[in-house]
Amino acid sequence: AFRRAQDVLIVMRRLLGFLRVGCLAILVLPAVGQSTATPHRQAPSLATLDQFIPAQMQKWKVPGLAIAVVQHQQVIYSHGFGLRDIRRNLPVTTKTLFAIGSITKSFTSVSIGILNDEGKLDWDKPVRQYIPECQMYDPVASERMTPHDLISHRTGFASHDLVWYSSDFSREDLVHRLRFLQGNRDFRSGYNYNNMLVMTAGYLVGKISGPGWEDFVKQYIYRPLQMTSSNFSVLDSQKTADFAHPYRKDEHTETVNEMPFYDIHNVGPAGSINSNVEEMARYAIFQLGDGKAGDQQIVSKSNLELTHTAQVPMGGQPEFKELGPRNYGMGWVVTSYRGHRMIWHNGGIDGFYALLSMLPDEDLAVVILTNLQDQPVPEVVAYNIYDHMLELDAIDWSGRFQQLESKQKAA
* Average pLDDT per 10 consecutive residues for the chain, totaling 411 residues: 36 32 33 40 78 98 99 97 99 99 99 98 97 94 96 91 88 94 91 96 97 97 98 97 98 94 95 99 98 95 98 94 98 98 97 99 99 97 98 97 90 76
Beta bridge partner(s), residue 359 = 364
* 291/247 Cα distance (integer angstroms): 35
| Residue-level pLDDT at 268 | 97
Please report the sign of the dihedral spanned by the C-alpha atoms of residue 192, residue 184, residue 188, residue 105: positive
C-alpha 403, offset from chain centre: 25
For residue 57, which phi and psi values (nearest 5 degrees)? -60, -40
CA distances from 105 to 151, 186, 307 (A): 8, 23, 11
User: 46-409, which class in CATH?
Assistant: alpha beta
Beta bridge partner(s), residue 98 = 275
Please report the sign of the dihedral spanned by the C-alpha atoms of residue 308, residue 309, residue 314, residue 315: positive
Closest CA to 147 of 117, 171, 123: 123
Angle at 342 between CA 190 and CA 304, to 5 degrees: 75
pLDDT digits (tens, 9 = 90+) for 77-133: 999 999 999 999 999 999 999 999 999 999 999 999 999 999 999 999 999 999 999
pTM more than 0.75: yes
| Residue-level pLDDT at 42 | 52
15 in Cβ contact with 271 (< 8 Å): no
For residue 122, which phi and psi values (nearest 5 degrees)? -110, 130
**Pure H helices in 289-376:** 301-307
* 127/1 Cα distance (integer angstroms): 39
CA distances from 77 to 23, 57, 182, 283, 377 (A): 9, 18, 47, 15, 17
* 190/120 Cα distance (integer angstroms): 28
Closest CA to 97 of 214, 246, 223: 246
* 338/387 Cα distance (integer angstroms): 9
Beta bridge partner(s), residue 372 = 247
Q: Buried b / exposed e across 253-289, counting CB within 10 Å, b at 16+?
A: eeebeeeebebbebbbbbbbbbbbbbbbbbbbbbbbb
| Annotated domain spans of the chain | 46-409
25, HSE (Cβ side, Cα atoms, 13 Å): 7
* 101/370 Cα distance (integer angstroms): 11
End-to-end CA distance of the chain: 13
| Residue-level pLDDT at 409 | 84
Number of neighbouring beta carbons within 10 Å of residue 29: 17
| Residue-level pLDDT at 375 | 96
269 in Cβ contact with 202 (< 8 Å): yes
73 in Cβ contact with 35 (< 8 Å): yes
- DSSP assignment of 214-257: HHHHIIIIITTTT--S-BS-HHHHTTSSSBPPPEEE-TTT--EE
205 in Cβ contact with 199 (< 8 Å): no
Beta bridge partner(s), residue 204 = none
